[in-house]
């Protein structure tokens, strides 16, 4: 009965996507992606070894839904491929933003995952015939899981985060839980989640760690290609970044600058909205009119006199943290917190709203002393004033001074990376022998 309702809901959802494709660009992109990729197959993949195409390779399927999950999957894919030149990674997406902005490495391919269904899942496996499957974070599509298990290939869920009230532990989710028990492994973020999983019958659970830390740390080690306009602007003054911001964070900034007009004297502000549509950016411009913001895509014609920039592009925010001092991360006044690990990796203390229960790193950052959760504008103003003043007091007269919070944040990210190499070298090759 539960699966029948699930199938009905998916059919209705698919119909709504196709209807919305008439006017919605994201729905149109998804519909077109489904149509295009259903005609592709494994034989279309070009795999090279030492620059020469080869016909025999191992195809590892990693489903990561959106761009955030893709960033988690990148270090896993890199480690798997480093262990064997015969491995080709097939990334599947359900989000156009993930698909469109995923930058692939050698011997990697990306496609859209068809909407979950018994027949569509079977067609998918017939198309690609993967030798292994990895589902990132929460990607538990019933028919795709069932078909993968029926194929008898190594299958894992990695970077999974569980809570006592998680959907998987409800009666409604029993069909999904039954399938998950049959995976070769469920890689959880920490030991407390492993204990929770084991107590709920998921005996294949193990501590994997959070690959978001790996990807964030990896960014700090990559050579930086300076942006000809943005990088010099970021480096001219201490920068306060609002990352993946929604309107509640914009309103917090407005209230702060109104109440403390001189607090950010000598600083500049970079606002990276989560929604980069003209509508949202124009609303932000209007809301912050006193700060005279400039949209990045419209050009920073006078860098030295421009103190507020709206970064209305995708893919550049993470690198901007390298040259900033404090970050306010959006989402936690709404459905959930966006990525705070990227900012911490570059040594930024992070401020965010109260809805962060689904993100264990938020509580870890708070306990470590460089994460700050606020519930209203008064608390926000107190925290931000303290961080700004602390930075100014400690860096005065010493341009090379490293703030203690920066050191703590960077060290925390480095030491909390998932042990991906151990998984690749030990767990994955022996997957079919696991109990």
Write down the pLDDT at residue 431: 45
Write down the pLDDT at residue 430: 55
| Same-domain pairing of 121 and 256 | no
| Same-domain pairing of 236 and 163 | no
**Token match 């990352």: residue?**
243
* Confidence grade of residue 223 (pLDDT, cut at 50, 70, 90): confident
Q: How many domains are contained in the chain?
A: 2
Q: Which residues pair with 205 in a beta bridge?
A: 186
| Same-domain pairing of 85 and 159 | yes
| Same-domain pairing of 204 and 225 | no
| Same-domain pairing of 261 and 317 | yes
15 domain-assigned: no
pTM of the predicted model, to two decimals? 0.84
Helix (H, G, I), strand (E, B) or coil at 115: coil
* Confidence grade of residue 429 (pLDDT, cut at 50, 70, 90): low
For residue 348, give its domain range.
221-415
| Same-domain pairing of 197 and 258 | no
DSSP state of 193: H
- Six-digit token string for 430: 């022996």
More confident residue, 343 or 167: 343
| Same-domain pairing of 328 and 345 | yes
Q: Got the DSSP string for 79-94?
A: HHHHH-TTEEEEEEES
Find the CATH number of the domain harbouring 355.
3.40.50.2000
Q: Which residues pair with 297 in a beta bridge?
A: none
Backbone region of residue 323 per phi and psi (left: phi > 0; alpha: psi in -120 to 50; beta: other values): alpha
Find the CATH number of the domain harbouring 423.
3.40.50.11720
C-alpha distances out from residue 420 to 81, 106, 208, 382, Å: 12, 19, 7, 39
| Same-domain pairing of 127 and 247 | no
69 domain-assigned: yes
16 domain-assigned: no
| Same-domain pairing of 377 and 303 | yes
| Same-domain pairing of 162 and 311 | no
| Same-domain pairing of 48 and 138 | yes
């Amino acid at each position: 009965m539960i699966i029948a309702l699930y199938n009905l809901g998916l059919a209705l959802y698919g119909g709504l996507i196709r209807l919305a494709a008439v006017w919605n660009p994201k729905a149109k992109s998804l519909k077109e992606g489904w149509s295009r990729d259903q005609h592709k197959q494994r034989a279309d993949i070009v795999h090279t070894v030492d620059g020469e195409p080869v016909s025999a390779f191992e195809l590892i399927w990693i489903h990561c839904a959106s761009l955030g999950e893709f960033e988690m999957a990148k270090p896993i894919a890199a480690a798997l491929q480093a262990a064997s030149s015969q491995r080709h990674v097939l990334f599947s997406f359900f989000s156009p933003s993930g698909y469109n902005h995923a930058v692939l490495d050698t011997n990697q391919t990306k496609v859209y995952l068809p909407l979950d269904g018994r027949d569509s899942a079977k067609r998918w496996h017939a198309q690609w015939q993967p030798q292994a499957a990895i589902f990132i974070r929460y990607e538990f599509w019933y028919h795709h899981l069932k078909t993968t298990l029926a194929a008898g290939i190594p299958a894992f869920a990695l970077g999974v985060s569980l809570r006592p009230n998680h959907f998987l532990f409800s009666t409604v989710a029993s069909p999904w839980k039954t399938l998950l028990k049959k995976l070769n492994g469920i890689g959880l973020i920490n030991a407390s989640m492993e204990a929770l999983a084991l107590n709920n019958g998921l005996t294949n659970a193990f501590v994997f760690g959070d690959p978001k830390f790996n990807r964030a740390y990896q960014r700090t080690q990559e050579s930086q290609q300076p942006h000809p306009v943005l990088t010099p602007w970021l480096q001219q003054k201490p920068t306060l970044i609002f990352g993946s911001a929604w309107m509640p964070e914009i309103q917090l900034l407005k209230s702060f600058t109104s109440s403390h007009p001189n607090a950010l004297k000598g600083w500049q502000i970079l606002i990276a909205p989560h929604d980069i549509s003209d509508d949202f950016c124009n609303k932000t411009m209007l809301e912050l009119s006193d700060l005279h913001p400039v949209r990045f895509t419209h050009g920073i014609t006078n860098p030295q006199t421009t103190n507020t920039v709206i970064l209305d592009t995708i893919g550049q925010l993470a690198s901007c943290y390298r040259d900033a001092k404090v970050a306010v991360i959006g989402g936690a006044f709404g459905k959930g917190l966006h990525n705070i690990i990227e900012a911490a990796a570059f040594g930024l203390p992070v401020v965010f709203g109260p809805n962060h229960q689904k993100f264990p790193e938020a509580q870890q950052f708070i306990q470590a002393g460089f994460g700050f959760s606020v519930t209203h504008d008064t608390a926000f103003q107190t925290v931000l004033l303290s961080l700004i003043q602390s930075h100014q007091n400690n860096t005065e007269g010493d341009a090379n001074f490293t703030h203690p919070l920066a050191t703590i944040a960077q060290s925390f990210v480095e030491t909390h990376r998932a042990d991906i190499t151990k998984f690749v070298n030990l767990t994955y090759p022996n997957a079919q022998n696991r109990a």
